[in-house]
Chain A
Amino acid sequence: QQQVKQSPQSLIVQKGGISIINCAYENTAFDYFPWYQQFPGKGPALLIAIRPDVSEKKEGRFTISFNKSAKQFSLHIMDSQPGDSATYFCAASSSWDSGSARQLTFGSGTQLTVLP
């Protein structure tokens, strides 16, 4: 019920291409969906986040698409750059489950490599 499934595990994209990472969840109480970017040796950093009241959110080259009925959300990185090479994690949390309202449930991560 709490799991967030992420795919693919790894992704290789040419510079300038589009990177797409997908996540699916089961818990219908989830109402906050952030994406985190992690470089080697660093902690994850928030990249972009979405609430389920909108179907898409765009910040620069990064876009989250959200499908509430399918319980799926995805990250699109347009014009991918070598500097985008990192591990990306989707996550979810619920404002309604008072017992664990603020903990994030993370996907297993996608290692993105953008070739120059």
Chain B
Amino acid sequence: GAGVSQSPSNKVTEKGKDVELRCDPISGHTALYWYRQSLGQGLEFLIYFQGNSAPDKSGLPSDRFSAERTGGSVSTLTIQRTQQEDSAVYLCASSLGLVATDTQYFGPGTRLTVL
């Protein structure tokens, strides 16, 4: 079956512009996560959605970052007024969401470059 897909694969934008990154999770997965991977760094948790519950936004670095998940499936991560330090690979993952240790399956990521 299809894995987690993300679009676009690459995004180049100018400082101050808004960007939207999209994630299509694996069908049937109720949990969805966004992580950020900066060059040479590990993955940094951003936000977590579980079913219809309120999202865990504890990892969002600033109020310029927001995310939504429509219909319990597709998710969009929005970064407003992008800054150069936002340049990174943004990874989406999904899991069954039944237990905390369900395997998280990652998409290929969106590489964001802010000029």
Q: Is the interface of A mostly helix, strand, loop or mixed?
A: loop
Is B1 interfacial (CB-CB < 8 Å)? no
Complex interface residues of chain B between 44 and 58 (CB less than 8 A to chain A): 44-45, 48, 50, 56, 58
| A102 sits at the interface (CB 8 A) | yes
A102 touches B108 (CB 8 A): no
Residues of A within 8 Å of B25, CB to CB, are none
Contact with B along A74-98 (1 / 0, CB 8 A): 0000000000000001010111000
Cα A41 to Cα B106 in complex, Å, equals 12
> Is A46's CB under 8 angstroms from B104's CB?
yes
Whether A44 sits at the interface, judged by CB under 8 Å, is yes
CB of B42 within 8 Å of the partner chain:
yes
What is the chain A residue whose CB lies nearest that of B46?
A103
B109 cross-chain contacts in A, Cβ below 8 A: 43
- Tally A residues with Cβ within 8 Å of B: 29
Interface string of B90-108 (1 = CB under 8 A from A): 0101010101111111111
Interface centre among A43, A95, A104 (most CB of B within 10 A): A43
Report yes or no: B45 in contact with A43, Cβ–Cβ below 8 A.
no
Partner of A100, one of B48, B95, B99, B101: B48
B interface residues with partner A (beta carbon < 8 Å): 4, 31, 33, 35, 40-45, 48, 50, 56, 58-59, 91, 93, 95, 97, 99-109
- The 27 sampled A-B contact pairs (Cβ below 8 Å) are A4-B42, A6-B42, A42-B108, A43-B91, A43-B106, A44-B43, A44-B106, A45-B106, A46-B105, A49-B101, A49-B103, A93-B100, A99-B56, A101-B100, A102-B33, A102-B97, A102-B100, A103-B33, A103-B45, A103-B59, A104-B35, A104-B43, A106-B35, A106-B42, A106-B43, A108-B41, A109-B41
